[in-house]
Amino acid sequence: MKFKFPSAYTILFGLIIAVAVATWFVPAGQYDRVTNETLGKEVPVPGTYKEVEANPQGFADVVLAPISGFYDPGSYEARAIDVALFVLIIGGFLGIVTRTGAIDAGIERSMTRLRGREKWMIPILMALFAAGGTIYGMAEESLAFYTLIIPVMIAARYDAVTGVAIIMLGAGVGTLGSTINPFATVIAANAAGVPFTDGIVLRFFILIACWLACVYYVMRYAERVRQDPELSIVADKRESNEAHFLKGRDHDSEAANTGFTLTHKIVLLVFAGSFAVMIWGVSAGGWWMAKMSALFIVASIVVGVIARMSEEDFTTTFVDGARDLLGVALVIGIARGIVVVMDAGKMTDTILFWAENAVSGLPAIAFINAMFGIEVALSFFVPSSSGLAVLTMPIMAPLADFVGVQRNLVVTAYQSASGLVNLVNPTFAVVMGGLALGRVPYERWLRFMWPLLLILAVIIMVSISAATVIG
């Protein structure tokens, strides 16, 4: 019988079980914590680690972990239940817009005008997403764009992986090269006791170099797929993906074959305006999941009124659209359950203590690269960029003083490591949610990504090593 790689649900449940088993063998430990007034968060105090009474996780904890993952905020900016609800509402909104036929008509018009120049959508879109990543750490908000970008890519004779890569790598490389991102760079710099502008030139260099590498990689893959669709890593899913993202809409759309009408244009203006308002709200207005969700409920109603939908048609379409993304919402909660089990088993601080001991006393270049490697490992367990900053910077940054490395380089190593891992991290809900939206199996995403991960890691390590030598 041919082996079939398990689904995202099985992978995540397997990781929950593995972490629960580890809590029986990894010593439980804890740092003392004090409140950092600047951050408004509790941070660990260097030199205070001690072993504490173990709390190994059993069967009941494993079963409850996915449920707790929805509600436990941990060190995240948002609870998984808030993100999952946002995804469901986005699904309803997209269902309403799709039903009007506006997206189909808009895609057809765009493909006609871009014929022969479709490939330039890739760097332009990746630059926009990278801007969101470097400015405010675009993550959960990117989930709203998958069902918009992927149909455009498939219509341009690329594939679903190209659409996923544009969004996930675009926003991800922006976060990897964060410059003023308040949820990564600013929090980490404050926790390390340095101005967040220290080291910004190096971060700009890493951002640009890694963005160029990602754009070249995606464009090269996309062009190969366009020339020969069998080279797609989801070639066996091509027909079902086209049916899901394109053809299925034609059957459900009331206006699929009526051309690009004035109603379509108004609906698309509302559609684009909704995302523009969301980006403004997050970056400048301090919005988060509740306000973003409310925005798309209002936008759904506005589109329904413009398209003159009946009340029954509107509600049925909205619920059907939300139902399409239910699996994505479940993945988000399950992914958070892994961290819930690890924290409950009191493993997190022990792993941090081991990391502290591992880098102590190393030469400068070895130290900064070891720091990068350790942050890579810790990022798997703590996918939240702000959570990882608060956890590690108060402990790791002071160690740099003893080997003559600037603290801002530790901040850069941390954020680069966090951003790199979160391009493929199965414990990061944005990765698993994005892949579920794009209908790209996790193991195929890994197959697509591993050469690029090596390239990005080399760019980062060479950059931080050179900066260490220059001083």
DSSP 8-state symbol, 35: E
pLDDT tops 90 at residue 69: no
Q: How does residue 291 score in pLDDT terms, banded at 50, 70 and 90?
A: confident
The alpha-helical segments, DSSP class H, found in 289-363 are: 289-306, 311-324, 326-344, 348-359
* Best CA proximity match to 176, nearest among 138, 140, 122: 138
pLDDT tops 80 at residue 229: yes
Q: Tell me how far apart the terminal alpha carbons of the chain are, to the nearest angstrom.
A: 58
Adjacent-strand bridge partners of 44: 33
pLDDT tops 80 at residue 274: yes
Q: What is the pLDDT of residue 74?
A: 58
Position with higher pLDDT, 95 vs 260: 95
- Residues 6 or more apart from 107 whose CB is under 8 A from it? 151, 152, 155, 246
pLDDT tops 80 at residue 83: no
pLDDT tops 50 at residue 44: yes
pLDDT tops 50 at residue 255: no
Position with higher pLDDT, 189 vs 244: 189
Q: Report percent pLDDT > 90 for the chain.
A: 32
Q: How does residue 248 score in pLDDT terms, banded at 50, 70 and 90?
A: very low
- Residues 6 or more apart from 404 whose CB is under 8 A from it? 364
Mean pLDDT, the chain, integer: 84
Position with higher pLDDT, 391 vs 374: 374
Element of type H or E holding 50: strand 50-51
Residues 5, 235, 321: CA angle, nearest 5 degrees: 80
> In terms of C-beta density within 10 A (0-12 exposed, 13-18 middle, 19 or more buried), how is residue 94 classed?
buried
Residue 283 — left, alpha, or beta (φ > 0 → left; ψ -120 to 50 → alpha)? alpha
- Residues 6 or more apart from 191 whose CB is under 8 A from it? 36, 39, 43, 389, 390, 393, 394, 397
Position with higher pLDDT, 50 vs 276: 50
Burial letters 126-147, b for 16+ CB under 10 A, else e: bebbbbbbbbbbbbbbbbbbbb
The alpha-helical segments, DSSP class H, found in 28-120 are: 59-71, 80-99, 102-114
Position with higher pLDDT, 322 vs 35: 322
Adjacent-strand bridge partners of 50: 30
* CB 328, CB 433: distance < 8 Å: yes
Q: What is the pLDDT of residue 43?
A: 76
Position with higher pLDDT, 215 vs 248: 215
Q: How does residue 73 score in pLDDT terms, banded at 50, 70 and 90?
A: low
| Least trusted range by pLDDT, from 21-35, 72-86, 276-290 | 72-86
pLDDT tops 90 at residue 427: no
* CB 330, CB 120: distance < 8 Å: no
* CB 355, CB 29: distance < 8 Å: no
* Best CA proximity match to 448, nearest among 260, 152, 138, 225: 225
Of 157-171, 281-295, 428-442, highest mean pLDDT: 157-171
* CB 462, CB 252: distance < 8 Å: no
Q: How far apart are CA 83 and CA 86, in angstroms?
A: 5
Residues 461, 443, 229: CA angle, nearest 5 degrees: 100
Residue with tokens 């649900």: 9
pLDDT tops 50 at residue 265: yes
Q: What is the pLDDT of residue 292?
A: 84
Q: What is the pLDDT of residue 329?
A: 77
What tokens were used for 350?
């022990």
Quote the crossing angle between the two packed helices 262-283 and 289-306, to the nearest 10°: 170
* Best CA proximity match to 45, nearest among 33, 30, 29, 28: 33
* CB 303, CB 78: distance < 8 Å: no
Q: How does residue 462 score in pLDDT terms, banded at 50, 70 and 90?
A: very high
